[in-house]
């Protein structure tokens, strides 16, 4: 599906809830070959998402030399020992998910004199294998991050694969609203229209733009 097709689907979903132009499309380029990423860059798109610091560091500095205005989003779990590199490379981090990382980012913010915009990841499905703050601890963690002086702009979630995503989108929106946070990072290729209906401001769309990811075995 082309970028233009995705944009028209976004516009339709926005129009249905009277939120035209309110959604930020992040093209998730992890694993994708450089030719596919270049095609989307040449179409004029500038906002991209990656899951791994290492992979992003290997490909985006070169793209940034050729294309101006690139905005890079980190969407995968962040190890504390990669926080510095991530804060230097990314414009937005969507996966602030534990107190230890919050403390590290706060220290580095002072050291570097800058900090990416931050989303707090909420584990809305309370899945043991998934990262994120449990919904019951969200308010306290959000306050803790604000006290640390971190630039928290919103909340992010990845709903469980086997559950109705709408319930999770609605829960995330509710937690954000009661904490005065304006941005919601939710919705992927399979459900971005539904996410827009529930107030997504940032949707993360990979395979629907680039095609299926081909994981080569080592």
- The two structure tokens encoding residue 162: 């086997």
Is the Cα dihedral 31, 93, 102, 96 positive or negative?
negative
Q: Which residues inside 36-95 make contact with ligand PLP, applying CB under 6 A?
A: 51, 75-76
- Please pick, from the candidates 74, 184, 188, 195, the single residue that binds ligand PLP as defined by CB under 6 A: 188
- Contact region for ligand PLP (CB under 6 A) — 4-12, 32-40, 139-147, 199-207? 199-207
Q: In angstroms, rounded to a whole number, what is the distance separating the alpha carbons of residues 104 and 84?
A: 9
Comparing CA positions, the residue from 202, 207, 175 lying closest to residue 186 is 202
Q: In angstroms, rounded to a whole number, what is the distance separating the alpha carbons of residues 53 and 110?
A: 21
- Please pick, from the candidates 158, 171, 172, 173, the single residue that binds ligand PLP as defined by CB under 6 A: 158
Comparing every residue's Cβ against ligand PLP, the nearest one is 206
Comparing CA positions, the residue from 112, 99, 122 lying closest to residue 170 is 122
Task: Name which of 109 and 204 has its Cβ closer to ligand PLP.
Answer: 204
- The two structure tokens encoding residue 136: 């019951």
- Please pick, from the candidates 137, 189, 193, 194, the single residue that binds ligand PLP as defined by CB under 6 A: 189
Task: Name which of 28 and 87 has its Cβ closer to ligand PLP.
Answer: 28
Contact call for residue 207 and ligand PLP (CB under 6 A) = yes
Task: Name which of 52 and 144 has its Cβ closer to ligand PLP.
Answer: 52
């Amino acid at each position: 599906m082309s970028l233009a097709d995705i944009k028209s689907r976004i516009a339709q979903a926005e129009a249905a809830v009277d939120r035209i132009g309110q959604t930020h499309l992040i093209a998730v380029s992890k694993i994708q070959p450089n030719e596919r990423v270049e095609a989307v860059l040449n179409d004029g798109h500038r906002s991209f998402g990656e899951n791994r610091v290492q992979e992003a560091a290997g490909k985006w500095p070169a793209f940034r030399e050729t294309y101006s205005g690139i905005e890079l989003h980190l969407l995968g779990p962040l190890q504390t020992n990669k926080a510095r590199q991530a804060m230097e490379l990314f414009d937005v981090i969507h996966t602030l998910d534990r107190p230890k990382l919050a403390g590290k980012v706060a220290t580095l913010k002072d050291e570097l004199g800058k900090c990416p915009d931050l989303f707090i990841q909420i584990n809305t499905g309370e899945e043991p294998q998934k990262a994120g703050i449990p919904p019951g601890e969200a308010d306290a963690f959000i306050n803790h991050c604000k006290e640390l002086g971190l630039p928290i702009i919103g909340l992010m979630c990845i709903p469980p694969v086997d559950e109705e995503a709408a319930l999770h989108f609605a829960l995330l929106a509710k937690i954000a609203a009661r904490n005065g946070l304006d941005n919601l990072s939710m919705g992927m290729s399979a459900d971005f229209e539904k996410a827009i209906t529930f107030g997504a401001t940032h949707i993360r769309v990979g395979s629907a733009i680039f095609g299926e990811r081909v994981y080569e075995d080592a």
